[in-house]
Structure 1
């Protein structure tokens, strides 16, 4: 494999930043360098006031076939402190909404990244799997718990115990993904969804994400309620409804919030 072909690329179009997993020789498997690159990209994108949402996807017909097995020894030696878990946790903590746009293989480290996103939209050709039991590995504890919170303990155990691939329809039934549609409609649906989110109040969306993810204690929740009053976001939203126009939400999260 030409390692120069394995990389994460970023394109910002309007309010949407798209991060593409690109490793065509290995169905977009994540190399060690790519795991390290992801938090750096997210650190750059998060404070950008023009970025309202982030899309994570794979190049071509695959999302991500997992961690590159050539780097397995490094990941195993680090356990839950691995670069893969660090990247996953940074993706999960990204302050703005994240959407995984999934085609084809979404397996192992690919599923790890998809589950760390806020929303998962899949083409009907997507296949999902969590393979550690086939390889004699232990899935990282933070990753296992995040999966169980998403799909419930029984469905998580089924995925983990069997290491079987499941199709998009089953993934939808168990709550692993949010929507399934024909592959040729995936890009348009993701564009539509991210455009909708970008039109909503960034303050409302950021607060909702923190609260749903159980990262906001009483003091932080009180802080959010004060921001509703002091920023004028609610006044703008109510005025826009009354005037039948698109609201002009302008709030930006402070970098030290």
Structure 2
């Protein structure tokens, strides 16, 4: 019987000797010697030496389809008017906005982030774009349980009382206070100026606490007339 040596085993099986750490290339390091490749850290500066700032807005699953539909309406003002870069990261489900060398004001980055965030909350593009044009507009969010703890049918009736038949009550409050309101289940979002948001919030809180719409309308009428006379 012929003697089996290491050399014949290597020749028959086609094995190769593992190279030493000195002979290993950088690309083969993790698979052979176990050495880790060291990459240069990502720079936060562009080619001109200007710092790059980022904003990331998380997109819920239920807002992905409306975002795809209205993407061009959101992308155009952010890139052409504010001179920012904007993209959708499908892996992390976030809208990423960053500055470019053409960006004039760093405050435009926060304006663009508020604009996209307003759309994701449920506001129309035509309403949210006002955040880019005006400086004194804000968004306030609160939940019904922050005003009064309601459960079951009481909560459903409260949401219906805020909306009204075919949205009549909500539209009346919006037109009276010059705001925009979004009812997202038990969460309420209000877009407008500081004073108008306060008036709108008081009216909605009155409906949550059980006030009849007629009483809320009369109070709205007096408060809005007083606000308009002060301007």
TM-score, normalising length from structure 2?
0.22
Specify which structure has the higher proportion of helix: 1
Asked which structure has the greater CA Rg, the reply is 2
